[in-house]
């Protein structure tokens, strides 16, 4: 073994000896302790209490130590949260500053780009125009621009406007009211010269349709283009009319509400007497003298489209299925009291209706239609009742539409009663022009019919009851309804349909006070007879041609034979009223005819007497032609309007008829 190995093993042996000594000492120390006797009980109790107190103190120290750690942790969390908020705030401020700097940098770059583009554009224009000259180049003067007559006139107008503005400014400096803007100056001083008046095309102007913008469909501030006839809204910058004037070079526009002409886009008012005819076509107006002269108007008028017509005898456009409305409007437009009342707008313009009432629109549209039908300065010989039909659809709650065929008698009843209500009419006869013109009075006698299966004794007992006694009641009427006899069920010997004929005086026996007619209700039958108490100024008669059964509508083809003048209703007047009525004779004024099947395929036409020429005209939509009086009674009349003849009393007529009858007796 070497010296190094001996030196390394020596400490190991020394450590083993020390461990043995320590173990021996510990054993000797523990043995005497185990041999000692136990301590007394009191001393052991005190020792246990001390150990318990030490345990309590140790637990308390642990609890205090934990709470202090928790408080310290919460405090650290709060401080850490505050630091996070401060960091977030600093970051947001930095982001905001960075965005502002980027925005400013982009705006500067954009402005620089715009300036560069503008500079490049200017350089290009100069090169194109030859303004930039190279070395040794001599600039040639450009030839003067040749202006057209319209451009010269426009320059003159603009120069006059500038001079006028300067003069107004100088006057305002002296002390008059200042002119604050060019628009106000144009309104105060309208231009009387416009170089674009020759662009107006009167052949395309049509003011019959609803005043709505063709783009926005707005009815506010609508202008009509005088070149193409279209409607546009507004005249200011960025409006539809302004844009249209720039796109199509159409300059003259008419405000459909104020009747003022403007030139766009220059935006100045045009005042020229040559435009008065357009204003009159848009809004015709009638003086008292002109209204009185219409009844005797016998001269044909030439329209702008070179067609001739008589005022009031013009066609009405059939939009789709509104011919049943056209004939009623045509017929009522030839009733002089009703026509004269609606020709002057001031007669009904002051009538006040509740806010939002729809009936006011009906009177306004009906008046406009009457004035257009009787216009003596029209551009064309026909009228489109579009606005009137829209008002009818609105007021009738779509019961009468111009896209579906309807009954002319039902529409006539609706129109008369609705016009009376719209004019604030009451139950009195003189409360409206409708009642003054068409209202009469009749007396109705009604008695109940006993059941058919009742015996004679039962009938006798029932007739003594009050409900089976005859009742009398007076009531007004606007038109009389006459019943036609039933058509024959079988054909003649030639196997052809028999078309029956009946005289008018036979149908009028319904109102002689003695002819009774049975009327059936759901479970009761009544007998009624009628007699007239007062005769209206204009009598409307309706023939009951249509009857609806369980499956379809049937039409009665019976022809009514009637004279066109001197129809006497004296026999229809009650006995106690005959002495008070001077005039009982009527002359035919209008005759409405229905042709074809009752529903689909049928059509209406009207025959009207023109008072000025004393000629009969037949109108079917846009078609107008004159006819012979003998042709009137050959068709299937549906509605008639008769005028009370006040030229001669009944006694005078009877005196004229008596000598003629004596001569006939002598001749026979």
Pseudo-torsion of CA 462, 464, 465, 467, nearest 10°? 90
pLDDT at residue 242, as a whole number: 93
Tokens of 34: 């185990």
pLDDT recorded at residue 328 = 96
| Mean pLDDT value of segment 617-621 | 94
Q: By the 8 A CB rule, do 582 and 591 touch?
A: no
Alpha-carbon gap, residue 187 to 92, rounded angstroms: 56
> Has residue 3 got a pLDDT over 60?
no
**β-pairing verdict for 637-644 and 538-544:** antiparallel
Q: What pLDDT, on a 0 to 100 scale, did the predictor assign at position 186?
A: 47
CA distances from 395 to 220, 422, 433 (A): 22, 10, 20
Looking at residue 469, its pLDDT comes to 85
Rounded Cα distance, 425 and 191, in Å = 47
* CA-wise closest residue to 508 among 431, 432, 436, 560: 560
Residue 367 has pLDDT above 90, yes or no: yes
Both tokens assigned to 435? 């009642």
More reliable by pLDDT, 640 or 35: 640
When pLDDT is cut at 50, 70 and 90, the band that residue 448 belongs to is confident
What does the alpha-carbon distance between residue 361 and residue 586 come to, in Å, rounded to a whole number? Answer: 34
Q: Which of 11-20, 32-41, 173-182, 651-660 has the highest mean pLDDT?
A: 651-660
Check residue 189 and give its pLDDT.
52
Does position 664 have pLDDT exceeding 70, yes or no? Answer: no
**How far is residue 257 CA from its own chain's centroid?**
16
* Confidence grade of residue 624 (pLDDT, cut at 50, 70, 90): very high
User: Which homologous superfamily does the CATH classification assign to the domain defined by 195-278?
Assistant: Zinc/RING finger domain, C3HC4 (zinc finger) (3.30.40.10)
Confidence of residue 142 (pLDDT cuts 50, 70, 90): low
Nearest Cα to Cα of residue 282 among 261, 311, 310: 261
Cα separation, 319 vs 385, whole angstroms: 9
CATH 3.40.640.10 fits 280-430, yes or no: no
Contact status, residue 215 vs residue 232, Cβ threshold 8 Å: yes
Examine the pLDDT at 238 and tell me if it is beyond 90.
no
Which segments within 322-384 are labelled E, that is strand? 382-383
CA angle 264–270–274, rounded 5-degree value: 125
Confidence of residue 27 (pLDDT cuts 50, 70, 90): low
- pLDDT at 118 (0 to 100): 74
The CATH class of the 445-489+496-667 domain is alpha beta
DSSP, residue by residue, 453-498: T--HHHHHHHHTSGGGS-EEEEEEESSEEEEPPPPPSS--TTS---
- The C-alpha atoms of residue 335 and residue 538 are separated, in whole angstroms, by 8
CA distance 324 to 602: 10
| DSSP letter assigned to residue 512 | B
Alpha carbon distance 103, 108 (integer Å): 9
Can you read off the two tokens belonging to residue 286?
A: 């009638």
Q: What is the pLDDT of residue 222?
A: 95
Cα–Cα distance measured from residue 350 to residue 340, given in angstroms and rounded to the nearest whole number: 17
Q: Would you say 482 and 544 are in contact if contact means Cβ atoms under 8 Å apart? A: yes
Instruction: Return the bridge partners of 655, or none.
Output: none
Q: Which of 205-214, 446-455, 456-465, 482-491 is most confident?
A: 205-214
Residue 29 reports pLDDT greater than 90: no
Rounded to whole angstroms, the Cα distance separating 296 from 287 reads 15
Give percent above pLDDT 90 in the chain.
45
Domain extent listing, the chain: 151-189, 195-278, 280-430, 445-489+496-667
Q: Average pLDDT of the chain?
A: 83
Residue pLDDT, tens place only, 487-515:
777 666 665 667 889 999 999 999 998 88
- Band of pLDDT at residue 172, cut at 50, 70 and 90: very low
CA distances from 196 to 235, 253, 260, 266, 276 (A): 17, 11, 15, 12, 16
How do residues 34-45 score in pLDDT, each as one tens digit? 444 445 667 778
* Among 626, 632, 591, 620, CA closest to 382: 620
Give me the percent of the chain exceeding a pLDDT of 70. 84
* pLDDT at residue 135 is higher than 60: no
What is the C-alpha separation between 372 and 311, in angstroms, rounded? 9
Dump pLDDT digits (tens) for 318-351: 988 899 999 999 999 999 999 999 999 999 988 8
Strands 585-595 and 637-644: antiparallel
Q: Say if residue 177's pLDDT is above 50.
A: no
One fold for 280-430 and 445-489+496-667? yes
Taking CA atoms, 114 is separated from 107, 191, 230, in Å, by 10, 40, 40
Alpha-carbon Rg for the chain in angstroms: 53
| Band of residue 128 on the pLDDT scale cut at 50, 70, 90 | low
The answer on pLDDT for 183 being more than 80 is no
Residue 373, pLDDT > 60, answer yes
Residues paired with 639 in a beta bridge: 542, 592
By mean pLDDT, which of 262-271, 545-554, 629-638 is the weakest? 545-554
Helix (H) or strand (E) holding 369: helix 359-373
Give the pLDDT mean for 385-410: 92
Residues 6 or more apart from 644 whose CB is under 8 A from it?
535, 536, 537, 538, 539, 583, 585, 586
Phi (first) and psi of residue 590, to 5 degrees: -150, 145
Q: CA–CA separation, 400 vs 361, rounded Å?
A: 16
Better-scored residue on pLDDT, 579 or 164: 579
Q: 34-43, 161-170, 448-457 — which is least confidently predicted? A: 34-43
Cα separation, 328 vs 315, whole angstroms:
13
C-alpha 505 chain-centroid distance = 46
Q: Which of 337, 347, 543 is nearest to 434 (CA)?
A: 337
Is residue 665 pLDDT above 70, yes or no? no
Cα–Cα distance list, 582 to 55, 194, 276, 482, 653 (Å): 138, 63, 48, 24, 11
What six digits make up the tokens of 626? 């004159």
Torsion of CA 571, 577, 579, 584, to 10 degrees: -50
Can you give the pLDDT at residue 24? 55
Is the pLDDT at 181 greater than 50, yes or no? no
Contact 305, 380 (CB under 8 A): yes
Span 168-192, mean pLDDT? Answer: 50
Are 370 and 335 a contacting pair, CB within 8 Å? no
552 contact partners, CB below 8 Å, separation of at least 6: 599
258 pLDDT above the threshold of 90: yes
- What are the φ/ψ torsions at residue 430 (nearest 5 degrees)? -90, 20
Residue 416, SS3 per DSSP: helix
């Amino acid at each position: 073994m070497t010296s190094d190995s001996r030196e390394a093993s020596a400490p190991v042996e020394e450590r083993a000896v020390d461990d043995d000594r320590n173990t021996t000492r510990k054993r000797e120390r523990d043995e005497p302790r185990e041999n000692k006797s136990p301590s007394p009980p009191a001393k052991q109790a005190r020792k246990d209490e001390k150990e318990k107190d030490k345990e309590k103190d140790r637990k308390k120290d642990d609890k205090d130590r934990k709470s202090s750690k928790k408080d310290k942790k919460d405090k650290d969390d709060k401080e850490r949260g505050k630091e996070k908020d401060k960091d977030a705030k600093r970051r947001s401020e930095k982001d905001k500053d960075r965005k502002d700097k980027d925005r400013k940098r982009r705006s500067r770059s954009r402005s620089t780009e715009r300036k560069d583009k503008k500079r490049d554009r200017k350089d290009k224009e100069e090169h194109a125009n030859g303004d930039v000259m190279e070395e040794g180049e001599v600039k040639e003067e450009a030839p003067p621009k040749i202006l057209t007559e319209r451009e010269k006139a426009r320059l003159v107008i603009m120069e006059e406007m500038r001079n006028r503005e300067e003069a107004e400014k100088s006057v305002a400096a002296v002390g008059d009211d200042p002119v604050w803007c060019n628009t106000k100056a144009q309104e105060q001083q309208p231009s009387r010269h416009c170089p674009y008046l020759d662009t107006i095309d009167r052949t395309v102007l049509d003011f019959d349709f609803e005043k709505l913008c063709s783009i926005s469909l707005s009815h506010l501030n609508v202008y009509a283009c005088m070149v193409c006839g279209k409607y546009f809204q507004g005249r200011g910058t960025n409006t539809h009319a302004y844009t249209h004037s720039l796109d199509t070079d159409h300059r003259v526009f008419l405000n459909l509400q104020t009747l003022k002409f403007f030139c766009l886009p220059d935006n100045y008012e045009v005042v020229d007497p040559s435009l008065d005819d357009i204003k009159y076509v848009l809004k015709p107006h009638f003086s008292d003298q002109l209204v009185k002269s219409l009844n005797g108007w016998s001269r044909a008028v030439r329209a702008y489209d070179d067609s001739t017509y008589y005022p009031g005898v013009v066609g009405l456009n059939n939009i789709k299925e509104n011919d049943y409305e056209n004939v009623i409007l045509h017929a009522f437009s030839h009733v002089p009291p009703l026509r004269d009342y609606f020709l002057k707008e001031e007669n009904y313009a002051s009538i006040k209706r509740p806010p939002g009432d729809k009936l006011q629109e009906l009177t306004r549209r009906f008046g406009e239609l009457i004035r257009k039908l009787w216009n003596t300065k029209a551009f064309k010989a026909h009228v489109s009742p579009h606005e009137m039909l829209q008002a009818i659809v609105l007021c009738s709650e779509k019961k009468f539409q111009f896209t579906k065929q309807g009954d002319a008698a039902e529409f006539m009843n609706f129109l008369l009663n609705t016009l009376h209500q719209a004019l604030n009419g009451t139950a009195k006869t003189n409360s409206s022009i409708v009642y003054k013109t068409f209202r009469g009075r009749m007396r109705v006698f009604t008695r109940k019919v006993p059941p058919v299966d009742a015996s004679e004794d039962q009938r006798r007992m029932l007739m003594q009851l009050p409900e089976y006694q005859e009742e009398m009641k007076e009531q007004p009427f606007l038109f009389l309804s006459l019943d036609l006899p039933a058509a024959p069920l079988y054909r003649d010997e030639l196997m052809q349909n028999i078309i029956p004929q009946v005289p008018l005086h036979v149908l009028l026996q319904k109102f002689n006070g003695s002819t009774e007619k049975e009327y059936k209700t759901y479970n009761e039958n009544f007998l009624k007879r009628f007699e007239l108490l007062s005769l209206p100024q204009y009598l409307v008669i309706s023939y009951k041609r249509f009857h609806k059964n369980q499956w379809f509508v049937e039409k009665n083809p019976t022809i009514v034979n009637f004279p066109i003048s001197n129809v006497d209703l004296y026999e229809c007047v009650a006995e106690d009223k005959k002495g008070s009525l001077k005039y009982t004779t009527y002359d035919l004024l209008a005759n409405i005819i229905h042709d074809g099947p009752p529903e689909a395929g049928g059509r209406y036409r009207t025959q009207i007497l023109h008072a000025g020429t004393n000629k009969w005209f037949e109108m079917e939509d846009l078609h107008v032609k004159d006819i012979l009086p003998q042709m009137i009674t050959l068709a299937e009349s549906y509605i008639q309007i008769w005028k009370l003849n006040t030229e001669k009393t009944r006694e005078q007529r009877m005196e004229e008829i008596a000598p003629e009858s004596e001569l006939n007796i002598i001749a026979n």
